[in-house]
A and B are shown apart, each in its own frame.
Chain A
């Protein structure tokens, strides 16, 4: 009656996780997209957001602080990767980062004011905890030896930043 791995899909999404194209569950949701959109809407009043790379739920409430901190995290990391001669889009998509390297990017960042003002990013310990939050939401994956990679869910946050300029332009043109 229900699609394969239904329980796992519902559990993951209800835990605030992103189900990304890298996951086996992604294909099942994709095949039953209409069903899941209706299922979450009718059962809980939650909206299933459909993206070519990931699925996630949103409700009327939103955890604005967490989302803002993740957006700031990727904006700073992307910026610093570019400054260090890396192709940041490729790096975020395909590379693994040692936790110490991430900490170093933040310690050497020129965005000190933004970092200082942010409880989640202003110390090494909190930065580690923040990455832990991203792991729990399947935005980052903990690999072996304190290394982390990012799932396709990171695109939500970098695309958001990219679109800010577009929207700003549209506003000033209007």
Chain B
């Protein structure tokens, strides 16, 4: 039980300790109680003293020898009891004491953990909160690191920048619209877009091109497909687009 070799449960351990104390240790304690005049130990001592006297009292040799024998046996018993008492004092009492102390802790752990008590109203011991408010504090680096560490549960998101990206070009819609308005009507809208964007960027991308073509969706214009059914092509270094030929002119009576 001392080493809990059988891995017995806490409750069972306490019951076992109680049982041992009640049935072995307490009776042994009563037997050895030197303060009680009628304890077995004291009675044995009395008999021993009595035999010690009586062994010299009788003339009959055999009676004297029997007393002598009894006296020595009693001395042996008292000696044995003393050694038991030493075991009780040196071994069992500290063990009981330890079990008692351990059981106080275990009961505490049990109470704290059971029924989720630890997450309820029980306040844990107060401990120091690290200060992070002074930026001139010489531990500000460590403290800030600690502060941010608590958010480190999420997986890191790595954003890889597209190194191929060209310099940003911002489509100036009003400028192109104005330019378009000046040139209306236009027979071939997409070709016009191509030449307009080319004026600004020699090696234009289709992103640039399509931004300019978005003028097509403005309310101010009337679009018609060219009747001859021919397509036109717009190309840059890498790609060639085949587009319908569209005519664009100012819409009459635009309602706003």
Residues in chain A within 8 A of chain B (CB atoms): 11, 13-16, 46, 56-59, 61-64, 66-68, 70-72, 75-76, 78-79, 82-89, 111, 113-114, 117, 119, 129, 136-137, 156-158, 160-166, 168
B128 near A82 with CB under 8 A, answer no
Query: At the interface, yes or no: B5 with Cβ under 8 Å from chain A?
Result: yes
> Which residue of the partner chain, among A59, A76, A158, A162, contacts B128 with CB atoms under 8 Å?
A59
Q: How far is the CA of A158 from the CA of B4 in the complex (A)?
A: 20
A72 near B113 with CB under 8 A, answer yes
A75 near B124 with CB under 8 A, answer no
Main SS of the interface on chain B? Answer: helix
Q: How far is the CA of A10 from the CA of B153 in the complex (A)?
A: 32
Q: How far is the CA of A157 from the CA of B124 in the complex (A)?
A: 8
> Which residue of the partner chain, among B7, B98, B128, contacts A83 with CB atoms under 8 Å?
B7
> Which residue of the partner chain, among B108, B122, B123, B124, contacts A162 with CB atoms under 8 Å?
B108
Candidate in B108, B123, B146 with the most chain A CB atoms within 10 angstroms:
B108
Q: How far is the CA of A154 from the CA of B101 in the complex (A)?
A: 16
Candidate in A113, A129, A158, A162 with the most chain B CB atoms within 10 angstroms:
A162
Q: A59-B129, A157-B124, A160-B108 are in contact. List 17 more A-B contacts (CB 8 A).
A: A16-B129, A58-B126, A62-B126, A64-B123, A67-B125, A71-B125, A76-B113, A79-B109, A83-B10, A89-B101, A114-B116, A114-B118, A161-B105, A161-B109, A162-B104, A165-B111, A166-B104
B139 contacts which chain A residues (CB < 8 A)? 11, 14-15
Query: At the interface, yes or no: B102 with Cβ under 8 Å from chain A?
Result: yes
A82 near B10 with CB under 8 A, answer yes
> Which residue of the partner chain, among A70, A114, A165, contacts B108 with CB atoms under 8 Å?
A165
Q: How far is the CB of A94 from chain B (nearest CB, A)?
A: 15
A163 contacts which chain B residues (CB < 8 A)? 108
Q: How far is the CA of A138 from the CA of B130 in the complex (A)?
A: 14
Q: A68-B118, A161-B109 are in contact. Are A82 and B129 (CB under 8 A)?
A: no
Q: How far is the CB of B130 from chain A (nearest CB, A)?
A: 5
Closest 8 CB pairs of A and B: A161-B108, A67-B124, A162-B108, A85-B4, A75-B109, A16-B128, A68-B124, A61-B129
Q: How far is the CA of A13 from the CA of B139 in the complex (A)?
A: 13
B50 contacts which chain A residues (CB < 8 A)? none
- Which residues 1-43 of B have a CB within 8 angstroms of A? 3-5, 7, 9-10
> Which residue of the partner chain, among B5, B10, B107, B130, contacts A15 with CB atoms under 8 Å?
B130
Candidate in A71, A163, A166 with the most chain B CB atoms within 10 angstroms:
A71
> Which residue of the partner chain, among A66, A86, A119, contacts B127 with CB atoms under 8 Å?
A66
B105 contacts which chain A residues (CB < 8 A)? 78, 88-89, 158, 161-162
Q: How far is the CA of A124 from the CA of B181 in the complex (A)?
A: 69
A165 contacts which chain B residues (CB < 8 A)? 104, 107-108, 111
Query: At the interface, yes or no: B106 with Cβ under 8 Å from chain A?
Result: yes
B118 contacts which chain A residues (CB < 8 A)? 68, 71-72, 75, 114
Q: How far is the CA of A116 from the CA of B146 in the complex (A)?
A: 24
B112 near A63 with CB under 8 A, answer no
> What are 25 A-B pairs with beta-carbon distances under 8 A?
A13-B128, A62-B129, A64-B124, A68-B119, A71-B124, A72-B112, A72-B113, A75-B113, A79-B109, A82-B4, A82-B102, A85-B5, A85-B7, A87-B3, A87-B98, A89-B101, A111-B113, A114-B113, A117-B119, A136-B146, A137-B127, A157-B125, A160-B108, A160-B124, A162-B105
